[in-house]
Amino acid sequence: MTYRHIGKDFTPPDIVSKVTGKAKYSEDFQVDGMVYARLLTSPMPHGKVKNIDLSEALAMEGVIGVLTADDVPPSQAPNPAILTNEPVYVGDPILAIAAVDEKTAEDAISKVRVELEPLPFTTSPTDSLRPGGPSARTEGNVFIQREMSQINWSDEDLQRFLDGKEPTGEAPTEWSFGDLEAGFDNATVVMEESFVTTGYAHMCMEPRSVLSYWQNGKCHVYGSTQSQSFVVPSLAEQLGIEQKDLVYVSEFCGGGFGSKIASYPVLALPGYFSKKLARPVMLRITREEEFYVGSARVGFQGWIKAGFKADGTVSAVDLYIVQDLGSQGTGGDASSAGGAVSILYQPDAMRLRAIPVLTNTTPRGAQRGPGQNQIAAIFEPMLDKAARELGIDPLEIRRVNAPDSSARINANQGPVTSAYMVEALDKGGELFNWKERKKRSGQRNGSKVTGIGVGQGYHSAGESGFDGLVRITPDGKIHLHSGVGNLGTYSYVSTTRAAAEVLNCSWENCVVEHGNSALHLPWSSYQAGSNTTFTHTRANYMAAQDMLTKIKEIAAVTLGGAADDYDVADERVFNTGDTTRSMSYAEVARRSIELGGRYSGAEMPDDIHQVTQRAVQGLAGSGLIGVAKDVLPVRGTVPGLAVAFAEIELDLETGKHEIIDYLAVAECGTVVHPQGLAGQLCGGAVWGFGMASLERHVYDPQNGLPANVGYYQCKPPTYLDVPREIQTAAVDIADPDNPMGARGIGEPAMGCATAAVLCALSDALGGHIFNRTPVTPDMIINHLAKQPQSYAKLAMNTF
């Protein structure tokens, strides 16, 4: 299908302000009377505050006040607290002090005397699971069914797991489908591996700084979040206010990656502090603090057994995961990992068992492909190992397992909206010249050896049921109200182009309203889970359809005839039988205000969310309103799929590798915004390279101290750690359940890269797999020198 806007590049409205520095991030805002807050955080991994002596700090000139855990609502373990008297990780905020400037506040912090009673702590899930092992929280060590409880394995159970034998320890999460035993009986090759994936920090470029003040009974919050409208209910709840009394501004977000999806504790802190002090409060989070409150990926310690038939098809998968949740309750990663395995390899039978364990490390949360990308790093190299044993080409073993539109997913083996992974593999294989290139596998060039790898990624990539809102004002402008957050993907604007498509209007006449709840924004999905493109092209389409209907009705009422006699083009509505009978969109907008009712927003549909209702109320009478909830059907899980190809050169003397060439192919339905898609595939690749071989998360088990509280210690990839050029492509086949044919892609874009690089490394090493992320030069050196690895088997947080 040929579109006017969909599939075309355009200049997002915030580009210029980003590159010129005019963009205002939360810490760029200043208001009269603003004071600056600083945090005092826990120096120990677990403790109880016995006494706080503020006398010296509060007596300092320029100090305005203090906020402690007693001033904010208590949190229910293991939800992170805004401020706490029982810190559960090094860096957990205990109190905040506000002063006339940051230096005074920081000087005052150093004068606070906090008496802390140390409590038992752990940095390792398996350490916590042993009999009598330390629990990360006084309430328990595991988080199951949204509740804290206590689980300790027997010594035998623990030892079996650490020895890499089939785990027998209690695993409260369990699901399965198919006949597992029969699956393994049917297998020609059965692989059994233990694995570890590191849970490393999100490392958002923009630390989560916040400004808050109160005005006319409303709390104004300037924050940094991935989502916009989706934040409103959770932040209002955290602040203990009604949604209508919250004004939330987040026009830009300097990176969230899953750590800024909805509200988070620090986002509410200045609201409470500002109320207490009756002064606007700015809390700038430092780079080091961002490593504490900014959260990290869930780490896996696991065991996997997989059966492969002679043709390479996966007959059975038995997956067991111990999840390192850090100090916070999350824990969907294991089940998501199972879901990814179920769709990417379509096993006949599968079982997932998991136990989510808390540790006294930084809080964990969703991080780009939470679960899916950890398992991609483990399963894909194992798939290659099986292919090697079966004598099958790595691309071919992926083809024979690849999901198509009849694919089944998850425990319930539900359907998908569509899937074209064979097409993605074939397209990539052709563009990468896989057959020719694979001949270079293992080729030596001095101390260097070539490795070729292919990897796959998956994440669900679409939601439904959210709202769209468009408006035409009497000046003829088409206002596209987007409640989508500006998390760096440009989806806040690219999805509105579905509305421009329906209204058949020029993009130059459109104004995108976003980034501030006072601009009257509709209820929108969370900008996470790769869903926005699917979800909000639908919602915008629905709102624009509502508007189109109203435009035709207004034309009919005004110019005579029936609504069906009219069509739109060039910002005009015209009678198809007599094109001289026409009105401009500006005239339609003016007429809608006269007509009132549902045209002007005085009336609105019953099924829209209260956030959207308030938006419409705010806009009522200002023009023609198109508003609708997305009630279009969805026949199953919306899959986002990606495949990547990597050629590397590994230096056997240094353990270092260079990515010579990289190609990513997206299978995300119709391409909505080509440059945006390329950006996602490139960004995902860089993230993937980091997970594969660089990004670290180190804790000293003796004292619970983190070793990585700065970029240089965490080692995200730099410009010189990634290939000069990253090739991207897309399958570009429309999904039937999206009016524009689109699905999401952000997270699989990373998983496929991690997998491709790890598979290429394994290929360069003649098939050796480490079953671990990241794979670092010291591991490769030790392997090649036939030395033992320095970490204990299944040890966490060692790199």
Contact 762, 693 (CB under 8 A): no
Candidate ranges 208-216, 282-290, 493-501, 642-650; the one touching another protein (CB under 8 A): 282-290
List the one residue from 718, 725, 736, 766 that touches another protein (CB under 8 A): 718
CA distance readout (Å), 112 to 46, 414, 635, 796: 19, 56, 58, 34
Closest contact distance (angstroms) between CB of 695 and another protein is 10
Q: Which helix (H) or strand (E) holds 619?
A: helix 610-619
CA distance readout (Å), 240 to 37, 246, 589: 21, 10, 39
Q: Which residues contact 576 (CB under 8 A, 6 or more apart)?
A: 565, 566, 567
Kindly provide the residue ranges of all beta strands, DSSP E only, lying in 26-168, ordered along the sequence. 35-41, 47-53, 63-68, 93-99, 113-118, 142-144, 147-149
Of 520, 12, 559, 24, residue with least CA distance to 253:
24
Say whether residue 56 binds another protein (CB under 8 A).
no
Say whether residue 117 binds another protein (CB under 8 A).
no
Say whether residue 61 binds another protein (CB under 8 A).
no
Q: Is 693 exposed, middle or buried (0-12, 13-18, 19+ CB in 10 A)?
A: buried
Please give the Cα distance from 52 to 123 (Å, whole number): 27
Q: Return the sign of the alpha-carbon dihedral for residues 261, 266, 267, 272.
A: positive
Say whether residue 725 binds another protein (CB under 8 A).
no
Candidate ranges 238-246, 308-316, 679-687, 698-706; the one touching another protein (CB under 8 A): 698-706
Of 380, 337, 312, residue with least CA distance to 752:
380
Q: Which residues contact 560 (CB under 8 A, 6 or more apart)?
A: 581
Of 733, 248, 98, 664, residue with least CA distance to 432:
664
Please give the Cα distance from 86 to 702 (Å, whole number): 20
Closer CB to another protein, 470 or 760, in the complex: 760
Residue 578, token pair as written in the block: 């007599």
Q: Which helix (H) or strand (E) holds 339?
A: helix 333-344
Question: What is the per-residue binding string for another protein in 476-505, x denoting contact by CB under 8 A?
Answer: ------------------------------
Closer CB to another protein, 637 or 776, in the complex: 776
Contact 325, 332 (CB under 8 A): no
Candidate ranges 165-173, 367-375, 671-679, 778-786; the one touching another protein (CB under 8 A): 778-786
Closer CB to another protein, 69 or 628, in the complex: 69
- Whether residue 639 has a cis bond before it, omega within 30° of 0: no
Please give the Cα distance from 690 to 42 (Å, whole number): 29
Say whether residue 445 binds another protein (CB under 8 A).
no
List the one residue from 700, 725, 736, 766 that touches another protein (CB under 8 A): 700
Say whether residue 293 binds another protein (CB under 8 A).
no
Closest contact distance (angstroms) between CB of 717 and another protein is 7
Closest contact distance (angstroms) between CB of 106 and another protein is 4
DSSP string across 57-81: HHTSTTEEEEEEGGGSPPPPTTSPP
Say whether residue 265 binds another protein (CB under 8 A).
no
Closer CB to another protein, 276 or 783, in the complex: 783
Q: Is 401 helix (H, G, I), strand (E, B) or coil?
A: helix
Closest contact distance (angstroms) between CB of 112 and another protein is 9
Candidate ranges 285-293, 466-474, 664-672, 757-765; the one touching another protein (CB under 8 A): 285-293
Closest contact distance (angstroms) between CB of 451 and another protein is 18
Contact 481, 466 (CB under 8 A): no
List the one residue from 715, 726, 738, 770 that touches another protein (CB under 8 A): 715
Max CA separation in the chain (angstroms)? 87
Half-sphere exposure of residue 530: CA atoms within 13 angstroms, side-chain side: 34
Please give the Cα distance from 105 to 94 (Å, whole number): 15
Say whether residue 721 binds another protein (CB under 8 A).
yes
Say whether residue 777 binds another protein (CB under 8 A).
yes
Say whether residue 447 binds another protein (CB under 8 A).
yes
Q: Which residues contact 392 (CB under 8 A, 6 or more apart)?
A: 311, 312, 400
Of 615, 684, 693, residue with least CA distance to 457:
684
Candidate ranges 529-537, 597-605, 714-722, 724-732; the one touching another protein (CB under 8 A): 714-722
Q: Is 628 exposed, middle or buried (0-12, 13-18, 19+ CB in 10 A)?
A: buried
Q: Return the sign of the alpha-carbon dihedral for residues 70, 71, 77, 78.
A: negative
Closest contact distance (angstroms) between CB of 689 and another protein is 11
Please give the Cα distance from 344 to 401 (Å, whole number): 7
List the one residue from 195, 291, 379, 799 that touches another protein (CB under 8 A): 799
Say whether residue 787 binds another protein (CB under 8 A).
yes
List the one residue from 9, 166, 245, 288 that touches another protein (CB under 8 A): 288
Say whether residue 701 binds another protein (CB under 8 A).
yes
Closest contact distance (angstroms) between CB of 446 and another protein is 10
Say whether residue 134 binds another protein (CB under 8 A).
no
Say whether residue 781 binds another protein (CB under 8 A).
yes
Say whether residue 110 binds another protein (CB under 8 A).
yes
For residues 411-443, one letter each, b for 16 or more C-beta atoms within 10 angstroms of the residue's C-beta and e for the rest, the string is: beeeebbbbbbbbbbbbbbeebebeeebeebee
Please give the Cα distance from 333 to 300 (Å, whole number): 9
Closer CB to another protein, 457 or 690, in the complex: 690
Closer CB to another protein, 242 or 288, in the complex: 288
Say whether residue 107 binds another protein (CB under 8 A).
yes
Closer CB to another protein, 53 or 245, in the complex: 53
Closest contact distance (angstroms) between CB of 151 and another protein is 24
Say whether residue 723 binds another protein (CB under 8 A).
no
Closest contact distance (angstroms) between CB of 702 and another protein is 5
Candidate ranges 139-147, 348-356, 556-564, 695-703; the one touching another protein (CB under 8 A): 695-703
Closest contact distance (angstroms) between CB of 127 and another protein is 11
Say whether residue 45 binds another protein (CB under 8 A).
no
Q: Return the sign of the alpha-carbon dihedral for residues 164, 166, 168, 169.
A: positive
Question: What is the per-residue binding string for another protein in 642-671, x denoting contact by CB under 8 A?
Answer: -----------xxxx---------------
Say whether residue 205 binds another protein (CB under 8 A).
no
List the one residue from 50, 103, 435, 439 that touches another protein (CB under 8 A): 103
List the one residue from 168, 188, 516, 782 that touches another protein (CB under 8 A): 782
Question: What is the per-residue binding string for another protein in 63-102, x denoting contact by CB under 8 A?
Answer: ---------------------------xx----------x
Contact 202, 296 (CB under 8 A): yes
Candidate ranges 397-405, 697-705, 733-741, 764-772; the one touching another protein (CB under 8 A): 697-705
Say whether residue 694 binds another protein (CB under 8 A).
yes
Question: What is the per-residue binding string for another protein in 5-44, x denoting contact by CB under 8 A?
Answer: ---------------------------------xxxxxx-
Say whether residue 705 binds another protein (CB under 8 A).
yes
Contact 572, 596 (CB under 8 A): no
Say whether residue 720 binds another protein (CB under 8 A).
yes
In 197-295, alpha helices (H): 231-239, 265-277, 287-293
Binding residues with another protein: total (CB under 8 A): 56
Contact residues for another protein (CB under 8 A)?
38-43, 90-91, 102-103, 106-107, 109-110, 286-289, 447, 653-656, 694, 696, 698-703, 705, 707, 709, 711-713, 715, 717-721, 776-779, 781-782, 784-785, 787, 790-791, 798-799
